[in-house]
Structure 1
Amino acid sequence: MKILVTGAVGFIGSHTSERLQKLGHQVIGVDNFSPYYSEELKKLNEKALNDLGISVLQLDLREANLIEKLPTDVEYIFHYAAQPGISSTSTFEDYFSNNIIATKNLIDYALQLPNLKMFVNIGTSSIYGLEATYPEERAPKPASHYGVTKLAAEQLVLQKSREKQMKGCSLRLYSVIGPRERPEKMYTKLIANGLNDEAFPLFEGSDKHLRSFTYVGDIVDGVVSVIGKESQVDGEVINLGTEVEHTTQEGIEAVEKVLGKQIEINVIPKRPGDQLRTKANIDKARKLLDYNPQTTLLEAVEQQVAWYKKYFS
């Protein structure tokens, strides 16, 4: 099956592309190689994909008439591309154009594909708001421009499902960690600071925040399990993550244990919109996708440290 993966050289998109290719599908990657973070890391991810025979098109989804630039025999779309996270360097216009306009353009393209089986939108627990511990039926209360625009993107996909114009679903991911995590994210930054004897910038009070830190391999298990279940998941929102909670402090201690050294902490002012608690309610994922994440926090950190040391230490 020919599958299009957007955001293909990103953290989770690259892992998903690899898994799909190894499952025997033909994967076409799309990425705009945004300067949001290191081009070096994106090129490293691209090389890993190229080595598996996956081609990556450099294309900005905010451009119109994508049907003229992308293949027309695609049967599946996994849509990861987005303006990520909560960042003081990202404007509302960045979130709006990358998360809403780009998704609308991709939907317009998808509606012109004669053999499309499913459009899988990749959402986020940030849609729920400051506390993300709920089943999918809970009314969203996003508390950041990121969460608001990701909710809008999700609804654009589900709108077309409700109108019976295409099959579509949205997977809300929880606190994904592991190899290739972006450099500004918690674990990559902790590992880098620890190895380079630099202080880790900790947002005030965030050491007590609770998170469903979920290994990227477990996330990809859930994502690819959608294939073959198009009728069951059409129109659905599904949480993917672990039910096990850890504090940020426990995450720091896990990295320290793997590195065998203590990391200096530099407390900085709180970040607006940061979630206080995430705990994935995955009852629906268990039922529809037979989803069962197994990787422990320590095992995930060990994998991430090994990756970082191999490529950056």
Structure 2
Amino acid sequence: MDKTFGHRNRHYSTSRLVFWSTIFGALLMYIVFRSLRSSDSLDSSGSSSTPLHTTAKWGGKDWEQSVQISAHPRSGSHNSVLVTGAAGFVGSHVSAALKRRGDGVVGLDCFNNYYDPSLKRARQKLLAESGVFIIEGDINDSELLKKLFDLVTFTHVMHLAAQAGVRYAMKNPNSYVHSNIAGLVSIFEACKAANPQPAIIWASSSSVYGLNTKVPFSEKDRTDNPASLYAATKKAGEEIAHTYNHIYGLSITGLRFFTVYGPWGRPDMAYFFFTKDILKGKPITVYEGPAHASVARDFTFIDDIVKGCLGSLDSAEKSTGSGGKKTGPAQLRVFNLGNTSPVQVTRLVNILEGLLKVKAKKNVLPLPRNGDVLYTHANISYAMKEFGYKPTTNLEAGLKKFVKWYLDYYSVTS
């Protein structure tokens, strides 16, 4: 018993050291990055000379008018929201939902090539048809952010831009620091300087629960054992959010998403590339844990996630800072947004086989040490209490909608 306890203490100390080292290193990189960014100059096309940026031309009267028209709410009782990552999966759905109900919405997205940018452009086109203008730019571009906040008095910022994916961190770790830490600080800095300051809702991740074995995952559980760099950057983001809330009075709500899926989803997600490969007759890889344990995920349909995003926005209190100075305590929250019903990945494959009417060719392999965890399971009682969050779509119903969209979008005959 004593040996085990001593081992756990050593493990705890080591994990804390790794975590805080990650934050320190990330912030150091951010400081260096900002200093380099300030010395960059824009050429006549508005493109930065640094390879870290993909900033399209912005500015001018027409551009300003597009921003202001898009940001204008239907009435005084509605909000004006800046949505970062607006051409992304969750961002595009949230932007459309906000616009439908009468809020003013301005999108910001860098359209990087982490996955096929044409899918992001297609989402952008749909949003444009509904009156949402998406600016192509980097969340680390402080000049662009300052210009946006000068043009529009945003009531809220829905910060959904991030470098996603657990496995990609092994290939391009710097992109996670650039987007998930430096980018988050840039957004907080812009919001801090605004007067009045907007309330902020931002995308954390269920990955922060890391190597936890207690289920279901609750917001009060420890999150200091990340299993991936992606998870570490999201955990660092939550600590940074606490700092900006404490010092500057920013109202900040973090959302821990659990395996979001659905139409217009991300091609790097298993349900998406499983569908693609099954239809092409290619074998898919299904991972299993030790002793043939099944990998399971708390798959959450996009419509339920959107409800959670809007609910957290509507229940967010105002920031208490003015001109970068705190005038009183501000709201700080974090919510799980999941489905509360973990499903084995093998069951996911079975459902897809039925919907696609194709038998999958499966290669079953041990779960690699690439940051993936064996299972996720959300406790959503806090979100349910605060704003009535209640998911209503099971995996079979959600996948049916996804497959219908997939076959239509890619013009595939099943």
Whether these two folds match at TM > 0.5 is: yes
1:54-96: CA deviation from partner (whole Å, max 9, x where unpaired): 0000111123344334243111111111110112464221111
Distance across 1 between alignment mates of 2:287 and 2:365: 5
Aligned to 2:314: 228
Q: Please give the root-mean-square deviation of Cα atoms over the aligned residues, in Å.
A: 1.9
1:215 partnered with 2:215? no
Aligned to 1:138: 221
Q: Secondary structure at the match of 2:313?
A: coil
Aligned to 2:29: none
1:308 partnered with 2:406? yes
Distance across 2 between alignment mates of 1:251 and 1:157: 35
1:166-202: CA deviation from partner (whole Å, max 9, x where unpaired): 1111011101111111112111111111222222233
Note the C-alpha offset of 1:291: 0.7
Note the C-alpha offset of 1:117: 3.7
Q: Which has the higher contact order (CA 8 A, sep 6+)?
A: 1
Distance across 1 between alignment mates of 2:349 and 2:148: 42
Larger mean Cα displacement after TM superposition, 193-202 or 243-252: 193-202
Counterpart among 384, 392, 413 of residue 294 in structure 1: 392
Distance across 1 between alignment mates of 2:363 and 2:126: 35
Distance across 2 between alignment mates of 1:207 and 1:33: 38
Distance across 1 between alignment mates of 2:344 and 2:312: 30
Q: Secondary structure at the match of 2:121?
A: helix
CA contact (8 A) 1:130 1:274 kept: no
Distance across 1 between alignment mates of 2:96 and 2:314: 18
**Relative to structure 1, is the Cα distance of residues 2 and 156 closer, same or farther in structure 2, using a 3 angstrom cutoff?**
same
Counterpart among 119, 129, 143 of residue 210 in structure 2: 129
Aligned to 1:81: 161
Larger mean Cα displacement after TM superposition, 182-191 or 149-158: 149-158
4+ aligned runs moved over 6 Å, structure 1: none
CA contact (8 A) 1:207 1:249 kept: no
Note the C-alpha offset of 1:259: 1.1
Aligned to 1:253: 350
Note the C-alpha offset of 1:271: 4.4
Aligned to 2:112: 34
CA contact (8 A) 1:207 1:248 kept: no
Note the C-alpha offset of 1:279: 0.6
CA contact (8 A) 2:286 2:345 kept: no
Report the count of equivalent residues.
313
1:136-156: CA deviation from partner (whole Å, max 9, x where unpaired): 111102110000001112222
1:284 partnered with 2:382? yes
Matches within 5 A, 1:194-205: 194-205=278-289
Note the C-alpha offset of 1:204: 4.9
1:263-296: CA deviation from partner (whole Å, max 9, x where unpaired): 1123456242101110110010111011110101
**Relative to structure 1, is the Cα distance of residues 259 and 67 closer, same or farther in structure 2, using a 3 angstrom cutoff?**
closer
Distance across 2 between alignment mates of 1:19 and 1:139: 33
Distance across 2 between alignment mates of 1:67 and 1:298: 41
Distance across 2 between alignment mates of 1:201 and 1:82: 26
Aligned to 1:275: 373
Note the C-alpha offset of 1:307: 0.9
Distance across 1 between alignment mates of 2:197 and 2:204: 20
Aligned to 2:23: none
CA contact (8 A) 2:139 2:145 kept: no
Partner amino acid, structure 2, of 1:239: N
Q: Secondary structure at the match of 2:285?
A: strand
| TM-score, normalised with respect to structure 2 | 0.72
Higher Cα radius of gyration: 2
Counterpart among 106, 111, 136 of residue 192 in structure 2: 111
Q: Secondary structure at the match of 2:312?
A: coil
Larger mean Cα displacement after TM superposition, 151-160 or 100-109: 151-160
Note the C-alpha offset of 1:207: 7.7
Distance across 1 between alignment mates of 2:369 and 2:356: 27
Larger mean Cα displacement after TM superposition, 143-152 or 108-117: 108-117
Instruction: Looking at secondary structure, tell me which structure has more helix per residue.
Output: 2
**Relative to structure 1, is the Cα distance of residues 247 and 86 closer, same or farther in structure 2, using a 3 angstrom cutoff?**
same
Q: Secondary structure at the match of 1:309?
A: helix
Counterpart among 152, 159, 169 of residue 236 in structure 2: 152
**Relative to structure 1, is the Cα distance of residues 184 and 207 closer, same or farther in structure 2, using a 3 angstrom cutoff?**
farther
Distance across 1 between alignment mates of 2:202 and 2:379: 19
CA contact (8 A) 1:133 1:277 kept: no
Distance across 1 between alignment mates of 2:392 and 2:276: 26
Counterpart among 86, 90, 98 of residue 12 in structure 1: 90
CA contact (8 A) 2:107 2:134 kept: yes
Q: Secondary structure at the match of 2:227?
A: coil
Unaligned runs of 5+ in 1: none
Distance across 2 between alignment mates of 1:46 and 1:66: 19
1:237-267: CA deviation from partner (whole Å, max 9, x where unpaired): 1111111111111111111111122111234
